[in-house]
Each structure stands twice: as structure tokens, then as C-alpha cells.
Structure 1
Amino acid sequence: MFFNISPLDVVAIMLLAVIIFGPDKLPKLIQDASRMIRKLREFSDSAKEDIRKELGPEFKDFEFEDLNPKTFVRKNLLDNDSLGLKDIRSSFDLKDEVAAVREAVQEGGRTVRTAGGPASAAAANGADPLRKSEPLRPGERPPFDADAT
């Protein structure tokens, strides 16, 4: 509400106001500020009521906070699941697919397959591209594919 103003900041602002306006003018200034805030609230409430009245009876429970796009989406799409969005969201759960790929990579050992290397040629011949191929010899570097990096 007060933009994270600490009690020490409030005391500092009060002391600054007393120093700037003086102790004799400060009560009148506070009354004027509170009167202005009250008038602004009344003006805002009457404007909201006029807009609701002009929109008609079907919008009598209309809230202006709903005009915020985030609030609108949360209220109309995420809370109300008439469109089946929870099923769509759950279909994007990739944990099982990622686990299967991780296991396949771990079973592949230390070999690295490139896009045009022996694995793609074996796949074209109908062989399993994830089949474990021969491990690299000590000191041998894995194949390097400039297009893939």
C-alpha cells in the first residue's frame, strides 16, 4: 500500500514536513490533503457507478480490476477450465520424454554421433541409431561436426 515504506522512513518524512512547513501550518496542510484524497475517492466511485449504469444490468458486478490483462486471463481462463486447458497443460509435461532420452544417452557410452556420421548411415540402413557403438580409444577425440556446434 505504501510502497514498502518502513517506519523509520515515515518518521523521517514527518520530521521533514515539520521542518519545511512548520508546526503551525502542518495541521492545516494535513486537513487539506485528507480532504483532497476524500474528494478524489468520491469522484472515482461516482465515475465507476456511472460507467456501470451505462453498461447495463448485465455488467452490475463488473470490476475494473478485470481490465488488467493478467487478471482477465487468470480469472477467465485459468480458474475456469471449461476449455480443457488442464489437459493441454498436462500434455506438455515432458518429464517422461526427457527421462527416456537421458537413459538412451547414458546407454550410448562415450561415443558422439554426428549428423552425417556412421549413426545416420546406420539409421538409413534400418539399424538402430541409439545402439551402442564401439567406444573411443584412449586419447582419441570424438568426431567433430562444425554444423552441429
Structure 2
Amino acid sequence: MFENLNWWEIGTLLLVALLIFGDRLPAVISDGLRMLRNLRNMARNATGDLSRELGTDIQLEDLHPKAFIRKHLLSEEDEQAIRKPLEGTFEKLRSDLTDVRREVDDVAASADIRPSTAGSTGGVTASTPGTGSDVPPAQRHAFDVDAT
């Protein structure tokens, strides 16, 4: 819980807690620990009740809908049967996306499109050698830069 705090920060927090709570600090700490224990017991009891109602051994991690379906409703064979048709589609989509990225990079290179450093919008501008800022906006972009 406190792995990202160093000793100085923890000491400062304890000093601030001592200043705020004063003599009541031990009672506040014990109340906080008691509340944490009660919350853990409530979660453990809820998990036990749910396991009894469902008739299976269930963990808190299993309450995520995907994990619940994968563990309790689908067998290994069912899961593979569902994944198999989608794997080919996923690979085709990945290769199509790679082709589109390559085409966009080619268009960007041929139109000499580079990031804008002058404006605060952080957009993309096209520069055509020999032309100034009098180029109409419709001709500045070879593609819709906001579409990505």
C-alpha cells in the first residue's frame, strides 16, 4: 500500500496525523484497523454465501463476467470453438490495418506532411514547396488528419 512512499513522507504523514488527532491517534488507528477487518470479513462472508448459493467454489476474481463465464459456463473445448472462427478474422484485420498504416505513411511522405510546431493546436500541416500560406485549407491536407 505504501510502496511508493519513502520514509520521509511516511514520517511527515504520521506527524500531520499526530497534530490533527493528538491524544486520540491510537484510538483512531485502532478504529481504522477494526473497520478494515470488518470489511474483509464482510467480503469473505459474501463470497462464501455466493459460493453456497451457486454450488461452486468461487473467488472474488471470478466475479468478473468474462472470468465467470469462462470458468463456470464454458468448457475448454467450447472456448476454443468460439475463438477459432474469430482468430482468422483478427489476423486479417491486423494485416489490413498494417496495410492502411503503410499507405497513410506513404501519402504523408509524398505530401510532405509534418507536425506543426508554430500553432498551439498540435495539429498536422502540409507544406508544399514554393507555396505560402495562401493555399486554401481544402488543399492543405492530402487526407483527413482528424480521422485517426
TM-score of the superposition, structure 1-length normalised? 0.48
Q: Kindly indicate whether structure 1 or structure 2 has the higher relative contact order, using CA contacts under 8 Å at least 6 residues apart.
A: 1
Larger strand share, 1 or 2: 2
Larger helix share, 1 or 2: 2
Question: Which protein has the larger Cα radius of gyration, Structure 1 or Structure 2?
Answer: 1
TM-score of the superposition, structure 2-length normalised? 0.48
